[in-house]
Every structure is written in C-alpha cells, then in structure tokens.
C-alpha cells in the first residue's frame, strides 16, 4: 500500500496566525500526561477500560514531549495586494514583479521533521540529543528507582513502544481478567512526571 502524501496546509492568507514555539507542544503533552496521572489514582482493580485511556494518553504525552525537541519552523508567506475595495491574496510572481501595493504576511508553524514522524517511543527518544537524554534520565531517576540508566530507560520505552497505537483499540484484543500490562503503570507515571520536569525549562 503506497504511503500517503504529506497533507498540504492551506495558507491562512490575511487571517491572523499565532506564533508558537516548542513550549506549546510541551504544554499539550503535559495535559495528556496529567490525564494519565489522574486516572492512575482512580482505576478499579480489575477490568477497567480506563486503563487503556491511561496508556494511550501516557504514550501520546511521551511522544509529544520527545517531538517538542524534534520540530522545525516552517515559513509560508502570504502576499496581499492592498486595493481600494478590499485585500486580495496574490501570488509570489506578482510580489516579485513589484506589483503596486503588495505586502507580505510571514505566517509560520512548527512541523516535526520528516525523519521523526513516528509513534515509536524508543526511536524518538534516541533521536534526542545526548544532553536532552541525560536531562530526562536524571529527572526520571529521581522519580523512580526502576530507571537509573539509559539502558533501563530504553528497556521501559521498548515495553510501551506501541501503546499509543495498540491501546486505542484494545477491545480488538482478547481480554483477560487481570491486564498483564497493568504493571507498567507503576513506571509510566513517574516517567511522565520526570520527563515533564526535565523539559519544563528547556
């Protein structure tokens, strides 16, 4: 099956756009993570479907935390011709040809670099620069004794590597009375807290 082409995003023209930086992504990740942390304190001992919501949100939070460090700014200018009647979106050719009354609005957005477009947590973590990995590990190791080395961090991420994809449709799997993956909560929650702390001031 061929890969889908990148979705083209329509230029906003003369509409106002908001300049954001990577902290916007971190705040979004924190919101997903906070939901997971709150749910961890409310789960029933057996057969609670909210467990999958916790795992889905937790994995997505980690994905966004990591991707917040792997984005680039994309600029997409709009060329507006100021006329007596109204503002009209024009083309770059008109702008380059010095058409009268043409101004530029420099829209921008953040985009995850092509090579980092993945849900796989292990790969995303390994794409981070070494300083960021060390900062995360130090913060996580303060939250849990289960992760004190990079190898232990990678081992845990490998265990939950595909949770974002798998846990959204957990009902398609055979269900047992006691969810075998439930044990990962006790590491996931401190990891979420540690990563949030590590990236809060970057």
Position 151 in a domain: yes
Per the structure, the complete domain to which residue 71 belongs is given by 22-199
Residue 93 tokens, joined: 């050719």
Position 13 in a domain: no
Position 174 in a domain: yes
| Neighbour tally for 124: CB within 10 Å | 23
| Neighbour tally for 113: CB within 10 Å | 11
Mean pLDDT, range 97-118, rounded to an integer: 78
86 phi and psi angles, rounded to 5 deg = -170, 180
Position 11 in a domain: no
Query: 0.75 cut: is pTM over it?
Result: yes
Tens of pLDDT, residue by residue over 15-56, are 777 777 899 999 999 999 999 999 999 987 667 888 889 999
Position 159 in a domain: yes
CA distance 148 to 45: 28
Position 168 in a domain: yes
């Amino acid at each position: 099956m061929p890969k889908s082409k990148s979705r083209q995003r329509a230029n906003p023209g003369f509409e106002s756009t908001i300049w954001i930086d990577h902290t916007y992504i971190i705040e979004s990740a924190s919101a997903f993570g906070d939901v997971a942390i709150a749910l961890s304190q409310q789960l029933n001992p057996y057969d609670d479907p909210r467990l999958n919501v916790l795992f889905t949100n937790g994995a997505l939070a980690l994905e966004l935390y990591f991707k917040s460090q792997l984005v680039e700014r994309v600029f997409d200018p709009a060329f507006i011709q100021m006329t007596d009647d109204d503002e009209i979106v024009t083309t770059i050719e008109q702008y380059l040809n010095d058409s009268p009354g043409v101004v530029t609005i420099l829209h921008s957005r953040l985009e995850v670099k092509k090579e980092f477009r993945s849900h796989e947590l292990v790969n995303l973590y390994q794409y981070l620069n070494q300083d960021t990995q060390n900062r995360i590990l130090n913060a996580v190791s303060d939250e849990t004794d289960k992760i004190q080395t990079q190898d232990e961090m990678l081992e845990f991420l490998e265990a939950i590597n595909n949770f974002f994809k798998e846990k959204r449709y957990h009902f398609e799997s055979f269900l047992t009375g006691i969810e075998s993956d439930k044990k990962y909560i006790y590491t996931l929650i401190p990891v979420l807290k540690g990563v949030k702390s590590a990236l809060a001031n970057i």
